[in-house]
Amino acid sequence: MTNTPPDALLALTDVNTFYGQAQVHFDLSISVPRGHIVCLLGGNASGKSTTMKIILGLVKPRSGDVTFDGASLLGLTTPQIVRRGIASVPEARRLFADMSVRENILMGAFVRDDREAIAQDLDKMLTLFPKLGQRLSQRAGSLSGGEQQMVAMARALMSRPRMIVMDEPTMGLSPLYVDRVLELIRTINQEGVSVFMVEQNASLALEIAHEAYVLQTGKIVLFGSARALKDDPRIRDAYLGGSEAA
């Protein structure tokens, strides 16, 4: 058994996951220290999104444990997990296209009933994401990809999470928005929210992460500080050089 480091806010320990007969994770162990940004890198179909789904209680591992702040999340529903302090920014944003930007953002507060504080938090989101201020009554589906990503991030923050988990937050965005989103992730983290993000684009992720894991067909093949991994020839060969992985 791998021991969970004492400072881990989130820890996956020896997780084995299957879809039917097909094994997707092999003794997966990942830990996110309090206050850190941890990135999970890996190519197509390596099991990245499934890792997110395990954390959110959407997929059950066959064995192993997932703990948040020392307590197991296994067996909890997604709303229960959100109440413990984890919010998600799913793949492709998953907004309600026909609802307004305001309605989408407020949906993130579904676990709360402190109306006044919710209104204050909405104002705070408009300070963090000023562009959304003029768009509050607009259909979410009419926004650009970058703006939608900001709505998804604002929605996640509305639950006042201790941790945000994100699936490929920069995918499909224009270079300008990629930089903006990375900067916002850094800002959110500096305000005390720990971050676990899945990314295919290693060079981007390693710019903001504290640590990173590399997943290859369901196994962690590399782990280290982002600084060390940036210079690791194995990462450079697999991701940073040659063909573009994103």
Q: Which does 45 bind (CB under 5 to 8 A by kind): Mg ion, ligand ATP, none?
A: ligand ATP
Helix axes 175-190, 115-128, angle to 10 degrees: 130
Burial of residue 48 (CB within 10 Å: 0-12, 13-18, 19+) is buried
Helices vs. strands in the chain: H and E counts, helices first: 9, 10
Which partner from the list ligand ATP, Mg ion, none does 180 bind, CB cut-off 5 to 8 Å by kind? none
The site map against ligand ATP for 171-210 (x = CB under 6 A) is: -----------------------------x----------
From 48-56, 94-102, 143-151, 178-186, give the range in contact with ligand ATP by CB under 6 A. Answer: 48-56
Q: How many residues bind ligand ATP (CB under 6 A)?
A: 11
Q: Which residue has the tokens 């259909």?
A: 139
36 binds, among ligand ATP, Mg ion, none (CB under 5 to 8 A by kind): none
Query: Which residues touch 45 (CB under 8 Å, ≥6 apart)?
Result: 217
Alpha carbon separation from 107 to 102, 201, 214 (Å, rounded): 9, 29, 33
Q: CB of 47: closest distance to ligand ATP in angstroms?
A: 4
Nearer to Mg ion, 15 or 109 (CB): 15
Q: Which of 29, 46, 49, 148 binds Mg ion (CB under 5 A)?
A: 49
Sheet arrangement for strand 71-72? 22-33, 8-19, 63-68, 71-72
Considering only the stretches 5-13, 46-54, 130-138, 156-164, report the one whose residues sit in contact with Mg ion under the rule CB under 5 A: 46-54
DSSP E strands in 92-171: the ranges are 163-167
Instruction: List residues near Mg ion by CB under 5 A.
Output: 48-49
Binding residues for ligand ATP, rule: CB under 6 A, are 19, 24, 42, 44-50, 200
